[in-house]
Amino acid sequence: MTRTIASCLLIACVGVVLAASDSNRLANPGFEAVEGALPQGWAAAGKDVPPALDRQITHSGSLALRFHGDGQQRSLRQTLTGFASRPFTVAGWVRAENVLIAQGDHATLYVHVIYRGKPYAVATHAYHRIEPGTYDWRRVEVRVDPIASFDIKDV
């Protein structure tokens, strides 16, 4: 089981940009539109618990996500389609307060690229580990280099 031990970990705006001239590919990247207890267009992965919406401590806009360190695996994801097989960047802003990450646990900005007609074993995986500690808002990013000869099904 993977879990993050933390007093609190906040993640604000995220974005997926294919090139400097491209716009953000995510729907609702700042989490401003809410549907029930989740930002519109976002979902928890599998049986994971979604993070809480935070209106008190935000990077920009009126909402951020709060990932509590309560022993539960938490995530938020969005599946994107229509990508060309060329490099792109996924970035976001994080803020941490008394974050402790136990051995074997992690907090990550994680991306996987699934290829059309190919098994999951050949998917491209890229991630940025979120550091423990206490710090103000930091930009984190991960560059994703898909296999150029494969057709991307989704990201």
Residue 57 lies in a domain: yes
Residue 77 lies in a domain: yes
How many domains is the chain partitioned into structurally? 1
Task: Give the pLDDT band (50/70/90) at residue 5.
Answer: very low
> pLDDT digit string (tens) for 12-54?
455 555 555 567 888 888 888 999 888 999 888 888 888 888 8
Residue 114 lies in a domain: no
Residue 113 lies in a domain: no
Residue 37 lies in a domain: yes
Residue 17 lies in a domain: yes
Residue 124 lies in a domain: no
> pLDDT digit string (tens) for 86-142?
888 888 889 998 888 888 888 888 898 999 999 999 999 999 999 999 999 999 999
Residue 154 lies in a domain: no
Show contacts of 145-149: CB within 8 Å, 24+ apart. 145/87, 146/83, 146/85, 146/86, 146/87, 146/88, 146/113, 146/115, 147/85, 147/115, 147/122, 148/85, 148/86, 149/85
Question: Range of 135's domain?
Answer: 6-81+90-106+130-142
Cα 45 to Cα 141: distance, rounded to the nearest angstrom: 20
Q: Which of 140, 141, 139, 137 is nearest to 59 (CA)?
A: 137
Prediction pTM value: 0.82
> pLDDT digit string (tens) for 90-106?
888 899 988 888 888 88
